[in-house]
Amino acid sequence: MTYTEYEAKFKVRDHGEIERALVKLGASLIDQVFEEDHYIDLYPCIDLKKRDEVLRIRITRNSSNRVSGELTYKGPKKFKDLKVRDEISIEIGDPFKLLDIFGRLGFKNRYVIRKQRKIYRLGTYKIFLDTVESLGRFVEIEVEGVKTASEFVSKIEKLKNIINISGVNIVKSYLELWLEERGKKYSGEKS
């Protein structure tokens, strides 16, 4: 099933104050996970970079040490100043075998982004406290049930104020930030 993902991301120095605010508001800790995102390059068949699309295999290890996998296609961003894009995801039983299949077909696993993530739920909000390897700490917020970008922005601003997050919404993905830090661009660059 395709759905449109509305997501806001903010770089933070520390998660402590935000986490205390979430707990005080009654947010529930859903899980603590380690995620490894493998971005697959389908070039020369399809130039996903040029099309602003992504194919990702996510390997997740949860707090019980259970490993799960997910294959996700992310379509192009719909707005310049908001991270809104269509997304299609499916669970995969053995993500390592899927990585092997892509590799044997000649499609290389180009980039790997690793992060520690705490996942909280507060009503229609899903809040992710991420520590991304070599990038730092971030808070990502998703809001379920929003139908428009303006409704999403309004709800994000409300939560931002309540849990004391400052700064501007980062529209770039962790992959784009990671590449930018290394002097590369994701969109349109062959490497």
Q: Which range has the worst mean pLDDT, 36-40, 72-76, 82-86?
A: 82-86
**Contacts of residue 175, Cβ cutoff 8 Å, sequence gap at least 6:** 37, 39, 54, 111, 113, 186
Averaged pLDDT score across all residues of the chain: 90
Does residue 172 lie in a domain region?
yes
Residue 112 has pLDDT above 70, yes or no: yes
In this structure, is residue 188 part of a structural domain? Answer: no
With 90 as the cut, is the pLDDT of residue 26 above it? yes
Q: What percent of the chain has pLDDT over 90?
A: 68
Residue 189 φ then ψ, to 5°: -95, 135
Two tokens, residue 34: 């380690």
**Which stretch of 10-14, 41-45, 135-139 has the lowest confidence by average pLDDT?**
41-45
Overall domain count for the chain: 1
**Across residues 109-136, what is the average pLDDT?**
95
Nearest Cα to Cα of residue 84 among 175, 36, 153:
153
| Residues annotated as catalytic (active site), given as ranges | 39
CA distance 145 to 138: 23
Here the CATH number for the domain that contains residue 42 is: 2.40.320.10
Range of the domain at 39: 2-181
In a domain, 190, yes or no: no
- Which string of b and e fits 19-49 if b means at least 16 CB within 10 Å? beebeeeebeeeeebbbbbbbbbbeeeeebb
In-domain check, residue 115: yes
Give pLDDT, residue 1.
Answer: 58
Tell me the pLDDT band of 2, cut-offs 50, 70 and 90: low
Q: Is residue 187 situated within a structural domain?
A: no
pTM of this structure: 0.88
26: which 2 tokens? 């009654």
Give 3's pLDDT tier (boundaries 50, 70, 90).
confident
Average pLDDT over residues 87-99: 95
Which residue's entry shows tokens 């909280």?
Answer: 120
